[in-house]
Amino acid sequence: MKSVVVVFLLTLYLQAFDYHLVAQKLSGNVYCFFGKTENITKQNGGNIVNTCFIKTKEGFVVIDSGPTYNYASQAYKQMQKIAKLPVKYVIITHDHDDHWQGNSFYKSKGALLIGPRTYEQNVIAGMQTRMERILGKELYGKTKIVKLDTVVDDNVSITIGNEKFEIKQLVPIAHTKGDLIVYLAHAKVLFAGDLVFNDRLTSLRDGSILGSLEALKKIDAYHAKVIVGGHGRKTDANATIALKTYLSQMKKEILEAQDNDIGMEEINKQVTMPNFAKFKLYNVLHKRNVLDAYRELEMMEDDE
């Protein structure tokens, strides 16, 4: 009997998981929910990502749908408090699963899904995602993998109501091989996805240090007033500085180490970068980033 009660109470808890989403107005009709700067856990429900929405005369456009169906459902309820409008489009910035697993909720509401070619290539119906593995089936809930309606290979523009959305892949590989930015020229607002991190470190596991630096340079060239990254709360025109400084210093120190014949087995003793130890997930990601960058920069030297 006791075990039945425990299971019942646990089920109630999981069904009632509250993301406590609060929409922050950034500019005009632009709003965002800011996730925690930490790893995915059952305690945070996978809420480690920034997702945004823009209100137009005809409906909402969502930038990244978040970690679960339940998250997207709660985000939608917050949107409806602002305006009783449908979600017309959801734009996915890249294929890492914390960014797109609310897609099935928005699809059920009639929204059209737009995303990169890498989503179509890497996201397979029926696959177990990292989010499902960590959260478990109960928290993962109704979350399902659904197909995109439009795949972006280079550039796409859509106009909804009074807003034009420019969707573009800046470089062939940066954080991933399919990172998209979304730019609102009229408002000078740029959604950078995981090309921009603040308050915590990025991961280079699927990307490129050189490509990331090139993408940051191109983002700065837009001279946007608001730059929203995939993680972290800094959204002003200087939002790229933290990641740009981290990657530039890492590149410099690794190249110097390579010039001094320091091999991969010793590189993490050399490139510690303690000035970034205050950033969240430094202990989890920095050493791996150094190894990934070392391999890439070593290959660059071999090509010369």
Residue 300, pLDDT score = 77
pLDDT at 260 over 60: yes
Mean per-residue pLDDT for 130-142? Answer: 95
pLDDT at 156 over 50: yes
pLDDT band at 12 (very low <50, low <70, confident <90, very high): very low
pLDDT tens sequence across 236-255: 999 999 999 999 999 999 99
Q: Which residue has the higher pLDDT, 84 or 13?
A: 84
pLDDT tens sequence across 21-71: 999 999 999 999 999 999 999 999 999 999 999 999 999 999 999 999 999
pLDDT tens sequence across 159-198: 998 899 999 999 999 999 999 999 999 999 999 999 999 9
pLDDT band at 5 (very low <50, low <70, confident <90, very high): very low
Residue 213, pLDDT score = 98
Domain 17-240 has CATH 3.40.109.10: no
* Entry field: residues in the chain: 304
Under 8 Å between Cβ of 189 and 30: yes
Residue 130, pLDDT score = 96
Q: pTM of the predicted model, to two decimals?
A: 0.93
Angle between helices 130-140 and 2-15 (to 10 degrees): 110
Residue 303, pLDDT score = 54
Residue 8, pLDDT score = 44
Residue 208, pLDDT score = 98
Other Cβ atoms closer than 10 A to 245: 12
